[in-house]
Amino acid sequence: MSRIFIDSDACPVKDEVYRVAGRYSVSVFVVSNRMIAVPDSPLVERVVVAAGPDVADDWIAEHVVDQDIVITADIPLAARCVEKGAHVLEPKGRLLDGDAIGMALAMRNLMTDLRSAGVMTSGGAAFGKADRSRFLSQLDTLVVKARRPRVRPVVPRGE
């Protein structure tokens, strides 16, 4: 059974995750380095990790397995989770899969290099209703997909 992990630092879609998880009876781990409010539900578990850079990310990457779903805007964390076979969804609804993660990492690194060189870069667009709607649609689709058994190709012996 797939689970959902939320990298909860500044995650604007936690309530949406709780609703979808309740609809499908999927466990949710809300991971942060500080105490945050979570619903009183047997499906939702708060995980508070030690303070420090990437401690929450490390916890998620260590516990996620194939077919789990990770909600994060953190591209390096997303890459680590995709490597383990997890589905990764950004809060704005963009799916970061094996095809998209390479480009996302390259763009992140380029923007980091530009900023360190003193080039002014814009932040992203503000989070809006369309983002929330796109996220909900993608999450619902991912939960349904992750609940289906994976079909592995049959390779005849001797080939």
Check residue 63 and report its DSSP letter.
H
Q: What DSSP letter does each residue of 9-62 carry, written as one string?
A: TT-TTHHHHHHHHHHHT--EEEEESS-----S-TTEEEEEPPSSTTHHHHHHHH
Q: Is the pLDDT of residue 126 over 70?
A: yes
Residues contacting residue 51 through CB under 8 Å, at least 6 positions apart: 33, 34
**pLDDT value of position 146:** 81
Residue 156: pLDDT band with limits 50, 70, 90: confident
Per-residue pLDDT of 79-90, as tens digits, reads: 999 999 999 999
Burial bucket for residue 5 (CB in 10 Å: 0-12, 13-18, 19+):
buried
Residue 68: pLDDT band with limits 50, 70, 90: very high
Helices (H), 65-121: 75-83, 98-116
Q: Are 125 and 2 in contact (CB under 8 A)?
A: no
pTM for the structure as a whole: 0.81
**SS3 call for 118:** coil
What is the rounded average pLDDT of the residues 22-39? 95
Helix axes 14-24, 129-147, angle to 10 degrees: 30
Least confident residue range of 12-21, 24-33, 39-48, 112-121: 112-121
Comparing 111 with 4, the larger pLDDT belongs to 4
Q: Are 10 and 72 in contact (CB under 8 A)?
A: no
Structure tokens that stand for 93 in this block: 């609804």
Q: Is the pLDDT of residue 104 over 70?
A: no
**pLDDT value of position 77:** 93
| Structural domains of the chain in order of their starting residue, each with its CATH number | 4-147 (3.40.50)
**pLDDT value of position 62:** 97
Residue at token pair 């539900």: 41
